Amino acid sequence: MSLFDSARFDVSAAAYDGCPPARLPEIAFAGRSNAGKSTTINVLTRKTRLAFSSKTPGRTQLLNFFSLTRKAPSGERIPAGYLVDLPGYGFAKANESIRGSWSELVGGYLAERPTLAGLVLVMDARRPFMPGDEWVIDFMRERPGVRMLWLLNKSDQLKTMEKRAALKLAQARAAEFGSSVDVQLFSGLKREGVEQLRETLEAWLAPVASELEPTSESSNSLQQ
């Protein structure tokens, strides 16, 4: 079982203080309602209904945590991190109070969470960089240590030339932002770009050497 296949629903938080203890690295998924966040998490984890994918956007204002485990040398599975499905933004019917609570919840999480390793910004490749997306991107300037992936989703809806243009535009924006941003085309529907997504996110969660239990060999080499 791979890292992302191990995903299990853990907990939902309606407020920042409802998040699980900040001990393990997290990858959060942000994006407009309907951009395809839940579908992306389902495809990544090979679960059909892990993150509920709904046709009525904007109902839930919760941070949903999915726990990941990896196999230790002993053979048992140990906690490795979380995927976090953030509430979407940009839905037309949202009133002021929903907007306010959204920015408090998501903004609070993005600004404060010490264990946030990376953020996947899921955008519809046909209309990327909408105002809410720009808000998130701008917000992340305050978190230079957090990796980002701009996922140009629903690429199945674009012709080859359009895909190329969308990718080029996003790459130019990413280069301007800095070296911590990756960009890729993706289709949850057609399962395109899934391996690339997995590789990027696995690298974000790869334990640094100091976190690994030293084997006799590596502890020897550390002492030298």
Ligand X SMILES: Nc1nc2c(ncn2[C@@H]2O[C@H](COP(=O)(O)OP(=O)(O)O)[C@@H](O)[C@H]2O)c(=O)[nH]1
Strand order in the sheet with 77-85: 8-13, 63-71, 77-85, 26-31, 116-124, 147-153, 181-185
Site for ligand X in 1-40 (CB under 6 A): 31, 33-39
- Pattern 96-135, ligand X, x by CB under 6 A: ----------------------------------------
- Report whether 1 contacts 51 (CB < 8 A): no
194 binds, among Mg ion, ligand X, none (CB under 5 to 8 A by kind): none
Determine, following the binding rule CB under 6 A, whether residue 45 of this chain makes contact with ligand X: no
Task: Pick the stretch among 37-45, 105-113, 168-176, 194-202 that binds Mg ion (CB under 5 A).
Answer: 37-45
User: Rounded to whole angstroms, what are the CA distances from 68 to 22, 46, 77, 202?
Assistant: 14, 13, 9, 11
Site for ligand X in 144-203 (CB under 6 A): 153-154, 156-157, 187-189
User: What contacts 117, CB < 8 A, 6 or more positions away?
Assistant: 25, 26, 27, 81, 146, 147, 204, 205
By CB under 6 A, name the binding residues for ligand X. Answer: 31, 33-39, 53-55, 57, 88, 153-154, 156-157, 187-189
